[in-house]
Amino acid sequence: MSKIAIVTGSATGIGAATAIELSRRGWSIAINYSKSAESARKIHSQCKDSILVQADVGDDAECRRLVKAALDKWGRVDALVNNAGTTKFVKHQDLEGLSADDFLRIYRLNVVGPFQMVRACAAALKSAKGAVVNVSSVAAQLGTGSSIAYAASKSALNAMTVSLARVLGPEVRVNAVCPGYVDTPWQWNALGADKARQAAERYSAMVPLRDYARPEDVADAIAWLLEGARQVTGGTLFIDGGMHIAVPR
């Protein structure tokens, strides 16, 4: 019997790459999206055994409905990948560029959403002796990224990862991946193709590995944390080309 994974925000980018990679490895996948229906259908068509569930993970009732859909289909949940998230692109120097509502909207998806998904899955994950991977960011450690609110939300997600690993053990392992710059539609839509390419080149020049991540790089790390890593919990795995150890220039 194949293992079952729920991947939130899996219509595009890291979430889509993760759904495809896990499906390639024999997993059955609950593909989740909130708005990108057409993109989600394309990922659905590339996964051998999958269901498509529209749900806003910021809403607790919809989180529970998403988990129920997986349980109704397969009767178990072996893994949860909390990938869905959001941001607002605001230069860190622009303190007036972020409102309280901006913070609440970002925290709703980046922190509250993952908590609600874990809570909805907890019993099933414990029964399956499963695993959770939260998709965080190197911004959590460096205080960088698209905005101060985004960096703060990912720091909160990392702290929550540790708390959940402690309380869900020994049955469930909980870890986070912290990508740096990743070549995704999120970057292209926010920056435009030319600026996204320039940002990738600047990033590559700063990091020890002199390259930036593709969604598949992050998906590989997530798959390892789900399938292997038997003694790893409460950890944060950087997939950032070494940005977290780069010497400022």
Q: 135-188: per-residue pLDDT in tens?
A: 999 999 999 999 999 999 999 999 999 999 999 999 999 999 999 999 877 666
| pLDDT on residue 53 | 98
- Residues 6+ away with beta carbon under 8 Å from 61: none
pLDDT for position 128: 98
Angstrom distance (rounded) from CA 202 to CA 239 = 17
- What is the torsion angle, in degrees rounded to the nearest 10, for the CA atoms of residue 238, residue 242, residue 243 and residue 246? 140
Q: Which residues of the chain have pLDDT under 50?
A: none
CB 153 within 8 A of CB 111: yes
- Distance (Å, rounded) from C-alpha 214 to C-alpha 224? 16
> What is the reported pLDDT for 102?
98
CB contact at 8 A, 173 and 165:
yes
Give me 2's structure tokens. 């194949």
Residues with a known catalytic role: 150
CB 143 within 8 A of CB 93: no
Which positions ≥6 away from 10 have C-beta within 8 Å? 16, 18, 19, 29, 31, 32, 33, 40, 43, 81, 83
The reported pLDDT for the residue numbered 190 is 65
Q: Which pLDDT score is estimated for 188? A: 61
pLDDT at 155: 98
Ranges of each domain in the chain: 4-183+215-237
What is the chain's mean pLDDT, rounded?
A: 95
**What pLDDT, on the 0 to 100 scale, is given for residue 105?**
98
The pLDDT assigned to 79 comes to 98
For residues 20 and 213, what is the distance between their CA atoms, to the nearest angstrom? Answer: 17
Which of 3.90.260.10, 3.40.50.720, 3.40.109.10, 3.40.50.300 is the CATH number of 4-183+215-237? 3.40.50.720
Could you tell me the end-to-end alpha-carbon distance of the chain, in angstroms, rounded to an integer?
51
> Which two tokens mark 71?
């349980």
Q: How far is CA 232 from CA 25, 65, 94, 117, 157, in A?
A: 21, 29, 39, 21, 17
Cβ atoms of residues 208 and 241 within 8 Å? yes
Residues 113, 83: Cα–Cα separation, whole Å: 10
CA distance 3 to 163: 25
DSSP secondary structure letter of residue 92? T
